[in-house]
Amino acid sequence: MKPKNLKKKIRRLEKRLQEGPKKLAKLKQRLQAAESARAAKARKKAAKKSPKPIHARKSGAVKKPKKKLNLSPERRAQLAAAMKARWAAKRAAEANAKGASGDNQHSAPPGPTQPPLNRPDGV
């Protein structure tokens, strides 16, 4: 290769090496600006979303206020009776389940379980 061409290549390479750190610094600065803009946008969105101060908000899910049902006194009494019956049935079922489990203390142990028909090992 001719010395003239070598000198040109060396000059170009030196120039590229000098521009490298500048380019890197420029890209880093651009990244930092984008991150700060994104953070500012998030802060602005959060401020617009809830006017309460941050320390006043709870760290859980926000509960919706319950709607008050427009019920007649007869319908309200009917619903109350139905709910009481449901709760009584539930308590009775739990009591029966507890009583039945106590009676099974002296029964025979359960038999061996059958293996599944479709076994993965193909046997």
Question: Measuring CA to CA, which residue among 74, 76, 96 is closest to residue 84?
Answer: 76
Please count the structural domains in the chain: 1
**Residue 33 maps to a domain:** yes
Per-residue pLDDT reduced to its tens digit, 22-69: 888 888 888 889 889 999 998 888 888 765 555 555 556 788 888 888
**Residue 6 maps to a domain:** yes
Most confident of 41-45, 102-106, 112-116: 41-45
Helix (H) or strand (E) holding 7: helix 3-49
**Residue 4 maps to a domain:** yes
**Residue 1 maps to a domain:** yes
**Residue 90 maps to a domain:** no
Q: Read off the pTM.
A: 0.31
**Residue 122 maps to a domain:** no
**Residue 41 maps to a domain:** yes
Domain holding 29, by residue range, is 1-51
